[in-house]
Amino acid sequence: MKEQKAIATPIRTKEIMKKYGFTFKKSLGQNFIIDVNILRNIITKANITKEMDAIEIGPGIGALTEQLAIAANKVIAFEIDGRLLPILEDTLEPYNNINIVNQDILKADMMEVWDKYSLGERPINVVANLPYYITTPILMQLLMAKLPISSITVMIQKEVAERMAAKESTKEYGSLSIAIQYYTEASVEMIVPKTVFMPQPRVDSAVLHLKMREKPPVNVENEPFFFNFVQSSFQQRRKTLRNNLSRHFTDTLSKSEIEEGFEKIGIDGTRRGESLTIEEFASLSNYFYQQIKETLS
């Protein structure tokens, strides 16, 4: 493999863009990283080694892809922007362990990808610099698909990373925190200034590490009901659980039945959603699920 200067530098990035006449598409949330040390830190946080494969989402001109190729056994990178394919073919030419998939990961048949690239023989980690506008849909799709991956390490908007890793009784804690932590152990690993991107976004970023759980931390009777229940509990953050759930269950449970649920589970209805642990949400959700099931049967 011939040596080449890292892609993730301001000079090299500008050279590549000029060579191909590439312009950023705001609609795709394209922000390229121009600091190779940040990328190496991400790979360290993701615990990438030659004994594992990596999946990347949105390789751009290949800055992170290159560092993943050096650290991992094999890299499968999903790139939606067809304009970047010839650029990636050029910038990543020295590496023979990279496959670029020109698909939207939200629409891709992941099992087909698994088979085509013989994934699953080694541990698989997802590593990506995600566009801000589509962070949550991508992460939730990966988690809900229950793919055999070990961890997800992503650079995302700092505020969103903090919400995903938030604990109860903090202002960042909400339904997104619970959804992410139902499937993973979440931690914010580092804060990344906007100055390491081209073009610079308006806000700082953070590296979020999600270690996949072997099983959820709580048992729930019905997952869709549980997530919907949690979301409704945060519908109006300043309102009490009693108020939010009364609105949510308008057509299915009376106020007295909701009150009875609070008493049975031992949770004060005047509390707000942000004060409840995931265990308390699971207990309440399971109780009300059974009540509705009995009512409808």
Is 31 annotated in some ligand binding site?
yes
In the sheet where 205-212 sits, what is the strand order?
98-101, 74-78, 53-57, 124-129, 151-157, 205-212, 184-192
Q: Is 79 annotated as belonging to a binding site?
A: yes
Annotated binding residue 33: yes
Does the annotation place 129 within a ligand binding site? yes
| Residue 29 annotated as lining a ligand binding site | no
- List residues forming the annotated binding site: 31, 33, 58, 79, 104, 129
- List residues forming the annotated binding site for S-adenosyl-L-methionine: 31, 33, 58, 79, 104, 129
